Chain A
Amino acid sequence: MRPSPSRLLNILVPVKRAVDYAVKIRVNPQQTGIDTNVKHSMNPFDEIAVEEAVRLREKLKASVTSIKAITIGPPKALDTLRTALAMGADSAIHVEVPETQPAPEPLAIARTLKAVIEKQNAAATKPEDKIDLVILGKQAIDDDLGVTGQMLAGLLGWSQATFASKVDIDVAKNEALVTREIDGGGEEIKCRLPLVVTTDLRLNEPRYASLPNIMKAKKKPVEKLSPADLGVDYTPQLETLKVSEPPVRVGGGKVANVDELLAKLKEAGFP
């Protein structure tokens, strides 16, 4: 009897170009959104996702056949893909959205990812060419919606392991053991592949992109697609009414003694 071919993993890592978290966010004068003419970088949770994919390959060696990064965004999002490639992804897909168009919503993103996965898996002649693991950030720090991973798993009918702080994959058994961050601790779940994992902060600490890898990344292939190629409609379903800054924090004051404190509290309406 011939042994069944050992399973091989193909990992897809969706990444998003977001306003860098070190940048101070300012609302635009029209109050329709934020000033985006600032420094952008890869969404930190997605950076953790890329790192996890690379670490899985370092651990599972040849069992990980490919790591592909994908982004859906304006022309400048290519920089974000290059970072992912410099960190260790093998190839990338850029679904380009015009600069002027509003950022696509999570459902549209999930549909795009589904279309990409189905396209590749339909074209695969051997089972080991199929994408069977998606690792992505649990949320993007710009809109904080945090639903893309769950939507994708739902659309594909795959297992999902959200808010992961530890991922162990048993390729032979076709299983993953994932620790999830939940209120008050961790929850260990076992899931079957194919699987969507969303990353939490404690999963790992992403590496810097080293110079030789940055140079190599420039030569790695990036496939360019348009939403139309994938048959996905990016018309927004949500309407933003108004964006405003949080109220300015008023500084505290010092009181000389308890009596003064009590008086102030009464003044502020405390009984």
Chain B
Amino acid sequence: MLAARLWARQRALPRRVGFSTAALPHTSLNPVTEQDVAHFSKFLAPNSIISTLSPNPCAPDELETYNNDWIGRFHGQSTTVLKPKTTQEVSEILKWCNDHRIAVVPQGGNTGLVGGSVPVNNELILSLANMNKVRSFDPISGILVADAGCILQSLTDYVAPHNHIMPVDLGAKGSCQIGGNVATNAGGLRLLRYGSLHGTVLGLEVVLPDGRILDQLTTLRKDNTGYDLKQLFIGAEGTLGVITGVSILTPPAPQASNNVILALPTFDNVLPLYQTVKRQLSEILSAFEFIDRTAYDLAVKHGQGRALSEEDTKGAECFVLVETSGGRREHDEEKLNDLLELLLSADKPLINTGVLSQSPAQFISLWALREGVTEAVSKEGKAYKYDISVPLSSFKEVVDNTREHLRSKGLLHDKAVKYVLGYGHVGDGNLHLNIVADAYLPEIENALEPYIYEVVAAHRGSISAEHGIGAMKTHALPYSKSAISIELMKKIKQVFDPRGIMNPGKVLE
């Protein structure tokens, strides 16, 4: 009895101290204590707990990869990472955290770009990495049910022998997890062809903040029975609950794929080219990606894919990568050849030249020039990444105007902003506007925000087409969402997570 009271007292004390020092966004939230860790160790395997707190404190650097995002912009101070292996364990963790008002950051591959998967302070990190089993796959319907922690690439490899592919594909596929993809409603390179996760995700298993398990892991393609609750978790960025299982529809693998990079003399040709390509390739067109010259040069500089020859890139203002996927190689190649001949023989050619992949290795290499831009940018310097939806016709204008805006503020030089570049998914109206700086400086940030958000709002665009809001853009949400929308979002958050333990400081301020 006495022991119990002492224990209760001990756990109360550091808490009160914690309040005054830690500026958690919700003042009613508590940091993790040794007692909490002791409790978790009752039902979690020792290797599922990484904590700097007793009884088995780890070195602080073991937490570094969990506390920091990979571009090095967001840094948390969490003391404890839990890596549960089952949904039941997730449920017990959340129940305890909810009862004790401990904030929780669900974390997948931690490949996000807006700081959504790292703590803003000392929240508990719930990593799904150990939940990495495929639960079932039906080769006839193509429906895959998998744990949230499965890495996207490993799922791609899993369904490949059954002649299926994942409907989502992105540069981070080797590290990102399907649960995180769903929680952030990741877009990526195949969206043009297979649509967003709102369509391909058939069901979810979600642990609610109070520990209840919402099992909607159905494999039905059609199910019109009331409100479709799973949609709320797709893109909620872990603010409503923890996704532990995903049921997703995988399309049949195309029997033949091809790609080509086209060099364009001017950006003005991108849209007419898109029209022509769409018309000529119709159902076999699976990607139409745009890279401006600066982005291309950076990708080449940092060894992302083999570069085109100088002769081929001379005078090119931007590049377009076109991918085809279809059922029959000869058919696809004929269509693609017709298109290329048409483009090359036109009176006023839309393209200078281009290269057509001759082998799967070249196919991969050409894609690397596009997919590797993200990595090249982070190798070059500190990146400010804006992932916006604006009308296609204003892509270049937005990039150029941003560059001029920074120049007018005297920030375009070696010690401040080095490059302003744009690339993205033309087919989806999604531009990735990247500003590469020597260091993160407040004056750069002040020059960029709200400037860019105002530009987007003026175009009635989205301030975050696919990266999400995370911790980076909460303040900017009003540029894309009305007051009524935001008010309803807050009410929904209140319904699912009344104590506000789920990923505080993300999405909503």
Q: Which residues of A contact B (CB under 8 A)?
A: 20-23, 39, 41-42, 44, 83, 86, 205, 207-212, 214-215, 254
Contacts and interface: CB of A to CB of B under 8 A. Distances in A.
A80 B397 CA distance: 43
Contacts of A21: 361
Interface in B322-366: 340-341, 343-344, 351, 353-364, 366
Interface of B: 47, 260, 262, 306, 308-309, 311-312, 340-341, 343-344, 351, 353-364, 366
Contacts of A212: 344, 353
B361 A41 contact: yes
Contacts of B359: 20, 22, 39, 41-42, 83
Given A205-B306, A210-B309, A211-B353, A22 B344 contact: no
A210 B355 contact: yes
B344 A208 contact: no
Given A215-B340, A215-B341, A215-B344, A208 B306 contact: yes
Contacts, number: 63
Contact of A210 (B343, B353, B360, B363): B353
Contacts of B260: 211
B308 A208 contact: yes
Contacts of A205: 306
A23 B340 CA distance: 27
A20 B361 contact: yes
A86 B344 contact: no
B86 to A, nearest CB: 19
10 contacts: A20-B359, A20-B360, A21-B361, A22-B363, A39-B359, A41-B360, A42-B359, A210-B308, A210-B355, A211-B356
Contacts of A215: 340-341, 344
A205 B260 CA distance: 19
A23 B359 CA distance: 10
Which A-B residue pairs are the 6 nearest by beta carbons?
Answer: A41-B359, A208-B355, A22-B360, A211-B354, A20-B360, A83-B358
A2 B341 CA distance: 50
B351 to A, nearest CB: 8
Contact of A22 (B308, B355, B364): B364
Contacts of A20: 359-361
A214 B339 CA distance: 13
Nearest to B309: A207
A212 B340 CA distance: 9
A210 B262 CA distance: 10
B340 A208 contact: no
Contacts of A44: 361
Contact of A39 (B311, B343, B360): B360
Given A208-B366, A211-B343, A211-B354, 13 more contacts: A20-B359, A21-B361, A22-B359, A22-B364, A23-B360, A39-B359, A41-B358, A208-B362, A209-B355, A209-B356, A210-B355, A211-B262, A254-B47
A41 B357 CA distance: 10
Contacts of A208: 306, 308-309, 312, 355-358, 362, 366
A207 B354 CA distance: 12
A211 B361 contact: no
A239 B343 CA distance: 50
